[in-house]
Structure 1
């Protein structure tokens, strides 16, 4: 997975956990490990249990993880049949819903209610600025290195999915937030990661801390609790409202497929009303 597909450590851990749980539940008979007796019914039984306890998106992940495991077991000669094709897909249509977003004013409230003093406040404000202004994912914030910031050119290197690297312009207000953190309360360590934990022993932050930062900001601002990805949606919606094209939005959000960006066209209700046709049998409003 690492050498051929370029998957991250966290993704490989998820695949491994699913494989262990599936094999422990379905490939053990009377205390004996018997993977060669696995059938399509075993795959269905496992997925039905998973779908009952996780979201549709997570269930789709289980399908991918299970198919990968089945292909591997067959190639290694552990299972005699190609059971990868027997893993059923999970219903969940890509364009069936409107992506959740939030108003630009609410995003600004989160920033305004984040303290800009103290070790935690200054760090959290810089993290929020990267998420709200550049749409960085949690893992991309955690991976950010000091060498990724090109102050002379005003650019930042983002290390995304599948070892992909993209260069984005560094807005002045985001750069100022980073400078305040780096020249002030950031622990003086040799670590090259930009963001470090505030409590000893100091170390690079984990991706889930970004969610904690956004959650704390929501509590201070008195808004509904959201996750970091909601701010990414909000950035796309705000760019769309200000006339940016889907191609430009896709470049900022670093989508590999323009169809992913096309989902955000559904949130521009003003533009959609201009092209919507009246329902048959009714008068146009």
Structure 2
């Protein structure tokens, strides 16, 4: 009952997505099962203490969970027990003294400007009348040109696009909306796609659709992007989020201010956006290593 109340709180008061709520539910259920295994006398969640949580962490690590996965699960528990404190179900928060395993945050994967330009040039549809080819090309182009999330692209409606003001209204996490400008090149692709879509699949509410006129799914978008990015053999990760990373990195490398990129990406704080400055810095280090002075012993910048 308490877990259900918490999930309803996330859904209706915090506007969390169904996917996020399901993740919280799985994490809390997994911990509850662990508590039950320890002793039938323990009353979840009232009898939970810090030692019990730490023992769970040890079990998770022993079972092969990565530090990132463990910390995500701990984040779910922290939110749950914080909610119980607010509801006065418990008087002491067992999570307050719990520290998760340390993680080394990897830098985001991204595609270099020249590789992305070559990829998009080669990806031009063979026929302007082929609905799926035109749509798939536009999906890759739009994700790279705007930096929007996959879920935001899937949720786009015709009414969200203003061709006169050259901007797209995007609904992001927790139903927050923002405006993203676009250039003439993307405008032409979007209008061409809409013409073919209306003729082949019919006009409706959703901007991106399948050939039967129904809203495109997140899985289809993922497969389209993965297939296209697979053409870059040196790229270790291939997903729609890589295009979002590529957009942000390209913007910063070409002189955009951090605050502007933050607003375009829909980040709530600069901390989330600042990771891309590290990515850009890594590129600068590589460039410096090519300098003759950097080749001398002890001359490697950053080492």
* Pair in the same fold by TM > 0.5: yes
Tell me by how many angstroms 1:165 deviates: 0.8
- The corresponding residue for 1:47 is 57
Is the 1:44–1:87 contact (alpha carbons within 8 Å) kept by the matching residues of 2?
yes
Of the three residues 65, 69, 72, the one matched with 1:61 is 72
Q: How many residues align?
A: 275
1:218 aligned onto 2:240: no
Using the size of structure 2 for normalisation, the TM-score is: 0.76
Residues 1:112 and 1:55: Cα distance change in structure 2 (over 3 Å):
farther
Assess, with a 3 A threshold, how the Cα gap between structure 1 residues 83 and 270 changes in structure 2: closer, same or farther.
closer
Is 1:197 the counterpart of 2:210? The answer is: yes
Which residues of structure 1 form unaligned runs of 5+?
Answer: none
Q: Deviations over 1:54-92 (max 9, x none)?
A: 444433321211112223445556656422324423423
Query: Corresponding residue for 2:5?
Result: none
Q: For residue 158 of structure 1, report the CA deviation from its aligned partner.
A: 1.3
Distance 1:59 1:284 in 2: 36
Gaps of 5+ in 2: 1-9, 289-293
- Asked if the contact 2:31/2:56 (under 8 Å) is kept, the reply is yes
The 1:147–1:22 alpha-carbon spacing in structure 2 relative to 1, beyond 3 Å, is same
SS of the residue corresponding to residue 268 of structure 2 reads coil
CA-based RMSD of the aligned residues comes to 3.2
Match of 2:26 among 17, 20, 27: 17
* 2:78 is the counterpart of 1:99: no
- Matched residue, 1:188: 202
Q: 1:47 to 1:130 in 2, by over 3 A?
A: farther
- Compared with structure 1, are the counterparts of its residues 259 and 77 closer, same or farther at alpha carbon in structure 2 (3 Å cutoff)? closer
Q: Secondary structure at the match of 2:196?
A: coil
Distance 1:136 1:150 in 2: 16
Matches within 5 A, 1:104-119: 104-114=113-123, 116=125, 117=127, 118-119=130-131
2:219 and 2:153 map into 1 onto residues whose CA distance is 10
On the 8 A contact 1:113/1:221 being kept in 2, the answer is no
Q: Confirm or deny: 8 A CA contact 1:68 1:84 kept in the other structure.
A: no
Matched, 1:159 2:168: no
Contact in 1 for aligned 2:145/2:182 (Cα 8 Å) = no
In structure 2, relative to structure 1, the CA distance for the partners of 1:44 and 1:185 (3 Å cut) is same
Name the CA shift for 1:14/1:105 in 2 (closer, same or farther; >3 Å).
same
Q: 1-side partners of 2:165 and 2:265: how far apart?
A: 20
Q: State the TM-score, normalized to the length of structure 1.
A: 0.80
Cα shift readout 1:152-180 (whole Å, capped 9, x = no counterpart): 21110111122211111122222222222
> Which whole-Å CA distance do the structure 2 matches of 1:5 and 1:16 have between them?
15
Q: What is the aligned counterpart of 1:70 among 81, 85, 103?
A: 81
What is the deviation of 1:217? 0.4
